[in-house]
Chain A
Amino acid sequence: EAGVAQSPRYKIIEKRQSVAFWCNPISGHATLYWYQQILGQGPKLLIQFQNNGVVDDSQLPKDRFSAERLKGVDSTLKIQPAKLEDSAVYLCASSQGSHQGARYYGYTFGSGTRLTVV
């Protein structure tokens, strides 16, 4: 089966600019996650969707970050305006079933988008 697709792979922007990342999960996977991985740290969950509904966005900086998953398939994560500390790899993951069942099936990650804010 095809994996989790993410684009772009790399992005360099100036601070205060906006940027958007796209994720297409594995076909049929109901649950989708966006993680932020800062250099030298483990991934941190930003937002979790089940179908097109938000399950958890408690760690999403809502003053500048937004995400949507229209139609419950692919998803977009946006940053506006970007700050230097947003430089990180943004990982998308998906899983079968509900967010409760995801722990049984595991989580499949995409290759990520590396964002550099200068």
Chain B
Amino acid sequence: AQSVTQLGSHVSVSEGALVLLRCNYSSSVPPYLFWYVQYPNQGLQLLLKYTTGATLVKGINGFEAEFKKSETSFHLTKPSAHMSDAAEYFCAVSKSGGSNYKLTFGKGTLLTVNP
């Protein structure tokens, strides 16, 4: 069974600083990986996804993530934080192969951006 671990339930950065949100997965088969963002009182919005191919994935709003199989990680980064990035971020995995492709989420990381 696949699972997702997000390290750090709360990350605080200054405006303009690097954003690094950590995600590790466990999967017995190559995973499909996703990062979603959730603003207060809203649904989940897809930031980026990794399926196959290039391991560095670029998403919306300047975010990117790198799939590292050797480290079973898919960390989310952004070079320079903006106030509008303050939100909750969820890493999710959907395994490939088998008969059920349900999307399993981590517990989330709340990002605070300080002026």
Q: Which residue numbers of A lie inside 8 Å of B, CB to CB?
A: 4, 33, 40-45, 48, 55-56, 91, 93, 99-100, 102-104, 106-112, 114
Contact = CB atoms under 8 A, between A and B. Distances in A.
B83 interface: no
Nearest to A48: B102
Contacts of B108: 40-42
Q: Which has the most chain B C-beta neighbours within 10 Å: A40, A102, A103, A114?
A: A103
Per CB-CB distance, the 9 closest pairs between chain A and chain B, nearest first, are A42-B105, A109-B43, A103-B32, A109-B44, A103-B94, A111-B43, A42-B107, A43-B105, A106-B46
5 contacts: A40-B108, A91-B43, A102-B94, A103-B51, A104-B32
Contacts of B46: 106-108
Contacts, number: 62
B101 A110 contact: no
Interface of B: 4, 9, 32, 34, 36, 41-46, 49, 51, 90, 92, 94, 96, 100-108
Given A42-B107, A108-B46, A109-B43, 16 more contacts: A4-B43, A40-B108, A42-B4, A42-B92, A43-B90, A45-B102, A102-B101, A103-B32, A103-B94, A104-B51, A106-B46, A107-B34, A107-B46, A109-B45, A111-B42, A112-B42
Contacts of B49: 106
Given A41-B107, A42-B107, A56 B102 contact: yes
